[in-house]
Amino acid sequence: MESISQADIKWEEVSDGKLGILQSVVNSMNSGMIKFLKFKPGAIYPMHYHRDRFEWVYVVEGTIETDIEGGKKQMKKGDFHSFPVMVKHSLVAGKSGATVIVCALLYRGDAKLPETGII
């Protein structure tokens, strides 16, 4: 995968523009995806969960409030948060909007992986 500059990102609307969120999918594969999401001020990515994927969110700019099964947490530029499989969560942009990187990877409970170390 090559380097990506924010200036080169090509944005498309999520949900026909109804959510006030733009996205740019950087990498999509069978085992997961990496994408940028750009939230307009106050935009809401609704409550949802993933049956088969872990999800990580990193705040590039702005602020985001996460709601994780009723527990709210404020995130600012440089913050990182993970959402386990089957855990309900949503994202709400702050007053100035936000840009985040989202990484979702397939969870395979049957996978035999080393605990740590170089392979």
What CATH number has the domain bearing residue 47? 2.60.120.10
Domain span holding position 83: 15-106
| R_g of the chain computed on alpha carbons | 15
pLDDT at 119: 47
Select from 71, 75, 63 the least CA-distant residue to 99. 63
Average the pLDDT over 37-51 and give the result: 93
Residue 116 placed within a domain: no
Q: How far is residue 28's CA from residue 9's CA, in Å, rounded to a whole number?
A: 15
Q: How far is residue 51's CA from residue 54's CA, in Å, rounded to a whole number?
A: 9
CA distances (Å), 41 to each of 21, 83, 107, 117, in order? 10, 23, 32, 42
User: Please, what is the average pLDDT of the chain?
Assistant: 86
Residue 55 placed within a domain: yes
- 91 near 64, Cβ under 8 Å? yes
Residue 25 placed within a domain: yes
Asked if pLDDT for residue 118 goes beyond 80, the answer is: no
Quick: pLDDT tens for 69-97. Answer: 889 999 999 999 999 889 999 999 999 99
What is the tally of structural domains in the chain? Answer: 1
Q: Which two tokens stand for residue 52?
A: 């088969």
Average the pLDDT over 5-15 and give the result: 83
Residue 111 placed within a domain: no
Asked if pLDDT for residue 27 goes beyond 90, the answer is: no
Residue 34 placed within a domain: yes
Residue 94 placed within a domain: yes
Average the pLDDT over 103-118 and give the result: 66
Residue 82 placed within a domain: yes
Which letter does DSSP use for residue 16 in this model?
G
